[in-house]
Structure 1
């Protein structure tokens, strides 16, 4: 109930902010246009009358500006009073504009009388001034309404795009969660159920071979070969597949998982893992701020770099470094194998798939040649983009 009340309050507060911004847009746009028209009209009429009607030279520019300014104030006041920015139907908007413009036109004419622009105006003069004030107000308020409609349309589109982005992000997170769940389940199945059955089969074959005195030597040799192949499949293939699906020690943290990964490399390859204090803080086992999906993706980057180093060149050393800056995890892997030449080698398919995967969570990947030999694989992973 508390979260529901908080959500409703946030919606109401946002609606109030939107309404306030709409009102400011309408009134500000209308006022700017109206003032522009008013100043221009005052300057033009003063110049024309001063040159064509000499007896009107006594009417100051200030009086005309004051009359037109009064019309602008009345226009904005009426628009604010009738809450024109809240009108949703087109005919209500038109009525608000026409009403405000009519009030502005009448106010302009009355202000002209008050400020001494006219002493005894004729009916035609009165009608002309009221009509010109009305047109000034209608054009100004109409442009203000157009600015308001443009703002509202832009806001709707922006929020729709934001909602769509949030839906996509939630979908990606859901897929990540499901992928991790499936990976973990399959890895546990391979490591547990399948491996246990293979152990039982191996034990059974051992019993059969233990009583193979009367067995044909060729059959005994075949059984021995089958037992060796099953043992190799259990020790290498099944465990390897399990680790590929869900790396060892991933639940303990990113650093333990990478140490386990590098520890399985041949002894002929020197490995170095450099971890910044920022990463250790994020990957603290007692309160890790790295989600399982983030750890898995970072391990995949190192796995891809190690795989490339083993496949494309006799690397003798692999250096892995981890750092965090502005909530972005930076993974760097260097090897001293055969020099990577992008023009000739292109981008490995596994690296391309990994780049696509990183881009889904706002990250990126870079594969460049080493300074003299080998290759340098870097990845930038925004933290907080996935869920455990």
Structure 2
């Protein structure tokens, strides 16, 4: 997003906020003022009609009209002075007092104009102006309070939203950095370290080829060293590289899982079930799953496979992938020894994986199988990959 677009969005948001603030203030003040005005008109009409016979001709409509004029004037003054933009408390009080005073005077003048009073005394005038003023103060004050409450709530909500966005961005930055480091180390192990081990193995081969001049014990030691280095290169370094950055991860989640399951012993039957929704997201020509999402999903399957190999001689492992409402569901079942949480406990690797999933809003579940084995499930919300 360019800076000009961002600035335009900020200006538009401020205009919407200002408009909503104005609506909150004016609507709140008007509702309260109309309520007070209606109640005052009904009360005064009843009292005067029953206690002052000479005033029985004063209609309710005239009093309602005068109070309505006062409400309109009150709202007009608040709108004219842009009361919704006032920030200092003393300025708010001043605005409320001025608007209420104008409304009180307008109410009295409207009463005279509508024939509520033919020849009002000064006491009557003062009483009506004061009552109108108090009506305006209470109404505008409540409207101003509603406005302030709305502004505080909006500020807190947006601050919480900004904090959440910052946390999300920080998590994504850490994910990207983790992926970069993993890839760099994996490439270093797979490339540089393996190349050096190959050179060392070749040099040891040359030395052993001239073993006629060596002591038999030394020759055996060199042969043992060469064998150990070859196993370290072929097993330890390669496996460490895969653990850091799984094979075929760049091609997609499904290829990476196929490569992972393909490395299991032939005595273990494996099954990978992938829904159409996952295939659509993981299309190699344009995958919408991020590398971090793929890596985390592969880590779930790796953990389940490791548990199946460590905690029971499983003969089958079934992996299934599905997407429901933008959440990737990973399920791994095995038929090894029955997993009993009370005695087996939660493996430390599973605990770390659960913590890792919680950082991105996901969760993990490890439960016993229906008859034997264990069932590991993970739910991973998909974010950037679906944008």
| TM-score over 0.5 for the pair | yes
Instruction: Give the 5 Å matches for 1:69-80.
Output: 69-80=68-79
Q: Is the CA contact (8 Å cut-off) linking 1:361 and 1:386 kept in structure 2?
A: no
Who is 1:349 aligned against? Answer: 348
Who is 1:89 aligned against? Answer: 88
Q: Is the CA contact (8 Å cut-off) linking 2:328 and 2:379 kept in structure 1?
A: yes
For residue 339 of structure 1, give the secondary structure of its aligned residue in structure 2.
coil
Who is 2:13 aligned against? Answer: 14
Alpha-carbon separation, structure 2, partners of 1:268 and 1:195: 29
Alpha-carbon separation, structure 1, partners of 2:37 and 2:275: 66
Q: Could you list the runs of 4 or more consecutive aligned residues of structure 1 that deviate by over 4 angstroms after TM superposition?
A: none
TM-score by length of 1: 0.96
Alpha-carbon separation, structure 1, partners of 2:332 and 2:85: 58
Who is 2:338 aligned against? Answer: 339
Who is 2:165 aligned against? Answer: 166
TM-score by length of 2: 0.96
Alpha-carbon separation, structure 2, partners of 1:42 and 1:176: 68
Q: Is the CA contact (8 Å cut-off) linking 1:173 and 1:386 kept in structure 2?
A: no
For residue 213 of structure 1, give the secondary structure of its aligned residue in structure 2.
helix
Who is 1:181 aligned against? Answer: 180
The answer for unaligned runs of 5 or more in structure 1 is: none
Q: Is the CA contact (8 Å cut-off) linking 1:361 and 1:385 kept in structure 2?
A: no
Q: Structure 1 stretch 258-267 or stretch 375-384: which is displaced more? A: 375-384
Q: Is the CA contact (8 Å cut-off) linking 1:336 and 1:373 kept in structure 2?
A: yes
Residue 190 (1) aligns with residue 189 (2): yes
Quote the offset at 1:7 in angstroms. 1.3
Q: Is the CA contact (8 Å cut-off) linking 1:340 and 1:373 kept in structure 2?
A: yes
Residue 101 (1) aligns with residue 100 (2): yes
CA offsets, 1:322-351, max 9 Å, x none? Answer: 111222211111111111222322322111
Q: Is the CA contact (8 Å cut-off) linking 1:102 and 1:134 kept in structure 2?
A: yes
Who is 1:23 aligned against? Answer: 22
Alpha-carbon separation, structure 1, partners of 2:95 and 2:344: 69
Alpha-carbon separation, structure 2, partners of 1:153 and 1:82: 22
Alpha-carbon separation, structure 2, partners of 1:3 and 1:223: 64
For residue 175 of structure 2, give the secondary structure of its aligned residue in structure 1.
helix
For residue 372 of structure 2, give the secondary structure of its aligned residue in structure 1.
coil
Q: Is the CA contact (8 Å cut-off) linking 2:38 and 2:64 kept in structure 1?
A: yes
Who is 2:221 aligned against? Answer: 222
What is the count of residue pairs matched by the alignment?
386
For residue 377 of structure 1, give the secondary structure of its aligned residue in structure 2.
strand
Alpha-carbon separation, structure 2, partners of 1:350 and 1:38: 70
Instruction: Give the 5 Å matches for 1:192-271.
Output: 192-271=191-270
Quote the offset at 1:49 in angstroms. 2.2
Q: Structure 1 stretch 308-317 or stretch 210-219: which is displaced more? A: 210-219
Q: Is the CA contact (8 Å cut-off) linking 1:31 and 1:140 kept in structure 2?
A: yes
Alpha-carbon separation, structure 1, partners of 2:340 and 2:64: 75
Quote the offset at 1:212 in angstroms. 1.4
Quote the offset at 1:73 in angstroms. 1.0
Q: Structure 1 stretch 196-205 or stretch 245-254: which is displaced more? A: 196-205
Quote the offset at 1:58 in angstroms. 2.4
Who is 1:155 aligned against? Answer: 154
Quote the offset at 1:358 in angstroms. 1.2
Alpha-carbon separation, structure 2, partners of 1:311 and 1:114: 95
Change (3 A) 1:386 1:360: farther
Who is 1:294 aligned against? Answer: 293
The answer for unaligned runs of 5 or more in structure 2 is: none
Q: Is the CA contact (8 Å cut-off) linking 2:288 and 2:385 kept in structure 1?
A: no
CA offsets, 1:256-309, max 9 Å, x none? Answer: 100000000111110000111111111111111111111101100100111111
Change (3 A) 1:283 1:386: closer
Q: Structure 1 stretch 16-25 or stretch 64-73: which is displaced more? A: 64-73
CA offsets, 1:43-69, max 9 Å, x none? Answer: 222232233223222222222222111
For residue 70 of structure 1, give the secondary structure of its aligned residue in structure 2.
helix
Who is 2:304 aligned against? Answer: 305
CA offsets, 1:58-105, max 9 Å, x none? Answer: 222222222111111111111111111111222332222111101110
Quote the offset at 1:386 in angstroms. 7.1
Quote the offset at 1:385 in angstroms. 4.5
For residue 290 of structure 1, give the secondary structure of its aligned residue in structure 2.
coil
Quote the offset at 1:378 in angstroms. 1.1
Alpha-carbon separation, structure 2, partners of 1:236 and 1:49: 103
